[in-house]
Amino acid sequence: MKLNSYDDWSPLREVILGSAANYAAHQRDLSFDLFFFEQLLGEFHDASPDERYRARVATANLQAHVTGRQARWPIKQRYVEELGEDVEQIADVLKSFGVTVHRPMALDRAAQASTLEWSAQVVPPLNVRDNTLILGDEILETAPQVRSRVLENQFLTPVFADYFRQGARWTVMPRPLMTDASFDRSYARDIGGSTLFSHARVPSAYDVGHEMMIDGAQCLRLGRDLVVNIANANHALACDWLERHLHGRFRIHRVHRLADNHIDSLVLTLRPGLLLVRTPDVLESLPKQLRRWDTIVSPEPRAGNFPDYEDDDLILASRFIDLNVLSLGPDTVMVNDACPELSRVLERKGFTVIPVRHRHRRLFGGGLHCFTLDTVREGSAAEDYLGG
């Protein structure tokens, strides 16, 4: 089918599901630690005492690596194997509902991405939502924020090329040089990272100042409208580019510092007029038209919903990661089976809940929405859900 996706709730027909093959380690460098800064410091309001302990352990290591030195942070093999099992089970469930599941090429060996200024260990194309926006009939590859992910979309090339041959537009945002000077550190500084990041800048002959960087998971797609979270100058520059590129086709609504970057474990659209939110406070940051929509507030996750990890396991997502659901249609939602509280709330609202297993979402920084990129949903034109 031809590329066609304007929102997150219309009946799903085709999707790209990420690959976990050969996910052996996180590479921690300046870009990684800035991106996951809040979680690494344990600043989330929902952090329990044991999480704050682990965060302090992680912070000690963070402090050692913010100066640009690379640090390979191994992931235990049993977690990687269980992740692979869960991803394949998700694929089977999607297929059982008649959804065509596309897969990226797998990372078959350890590889390095090298540029004029730095090199980084390539990670598998797992969280495929992050580096791409599907806007109607256009594939829009966004500008990465983490160096180890700069080549990630190349694993999706065969899928994107097939859609292009069927008539899709295919656009790539300008690629950032990603020197140390490229990153706006103001968000991290404002929440207490001035000590850690005050000296984390190695001068380079290729410095050009702040550059555009943004992820698709910072955006809510609502037909003709795109709500974009802006937390720093990198995001603002990228949003400037989006506004010029999409002028006349889509309307951009900026929200400021709703999160440090991604917002799909804070707010998701379940169907026109209905939002799933982490807390009611989220509404205060949204456009006024969305504040009039009905809301489902995610229930408080329980500690037993998550595996027990050791102090050297790097936790990259908050306990609210299971809000990161995938809609198969306006009344059908795929939910992590480890989060029964959310499933019950959705069922009481009339949704059919499809439970799937996803054990290590906190270690790999992504839920069901993150692992998938919907490419074909029903509908032939962008709808106007927010008005002028």
The whole model's pTM is what?
Answer: 0.93
Report the Cα 252 to chain-centroid distance in Å: 19
What pLDDT shows up at residue 49? 47
pLDDT one-digit tens code per residue, 226-257 = 999 999 999 999 999 999 999 999 999 999 99
Is the per-residue pLDDT at 111 higher than 90? no
Is the per-residue pLDDT at 132 higher than 50? yes
Q: Tell me the C-alpha distance between 256 and 225, whole Å.
A: 16
∠ CA(43), CA(37), CA(71), 5° rounding?
130
CATH of the domain at 269: 3.75.10.10
Range of the domain at 90: 12-377
The residue-averaged pLDDT of 161-169 equals 98
Residues 6+ apart with CB under 8 A from 295: 274, 275, 276, 277, 280, 283
Is the per-residue pLDDT at 58 higher than 70? no
What pLDDT shows up at residue 109? 84
Is the per-residue pLDDT at 131 higher than 90? yes
What pLDDT shows up at residue 53? 43
Evaluate whether 143 touches 150 at the Cβ level (below 8 Å): no
Lowest average pLDDT, out of 96-105, 145-154, 190-199, 361-370, goes to 190-199
Q: How many domains does the chain have?
A: 1
User: Is 176 contained in some domain?
Assistant: yes
What pLDDT shows up at residue 388? 60
What pLDDT shows up at residue 258? 94
User: Is 240 contained in some domain?
Assistant: yes
**Cross-strand bridge partners of residue 267:** 277
User: Is 342 contained in some domain?
Assistant: yes
| Region for residue 122 given its phi and psi (left: phi exceeds 0; alpha: psi -120 to 50; beta: otherwise) | beta
Neighbours of 311 (CB within 10 A): 10
User: Is 183 contained in some domain?
Assistant: yes
β pairing state of 332-336 and 326-329: antiparallel
Is the per-residue pLDDT at 133 higher than 50? yes
User: Is 383 contained in some domain?
Assistant: no
Neighbours of 326 (CB within 10 A): 26
pLDDT one-digit tens code per residue, 261-294 = 999 999 999 999 999 999 999 999 999 999 999 9
Q: Tell me the C-alpha distance between 340 and 206, whole Å.
A: 50
The residue-averaged pLDDT of 153-166 equals 98
Residues 6+ apart with CB under 8 A from 98: 13
Evaluate whether 320 touches 361 at the Cβ level (below 8 Å): no
Is the per-residue pLDDT at 260 higher than 50? yes
pLDDT one-digit tens code per residue, 322-332 = 999 999 999 99
What pLDDT shows up at residue 201? 73
User: Is 31 contained in some domain?
Assistant: yes
User: Is 235 contained in some domain?
Assistant: yes
147 pLDDT tier (thresholds 50, 70, 90): very high
User: Is 348 contained in some domain?
Assistant: yes
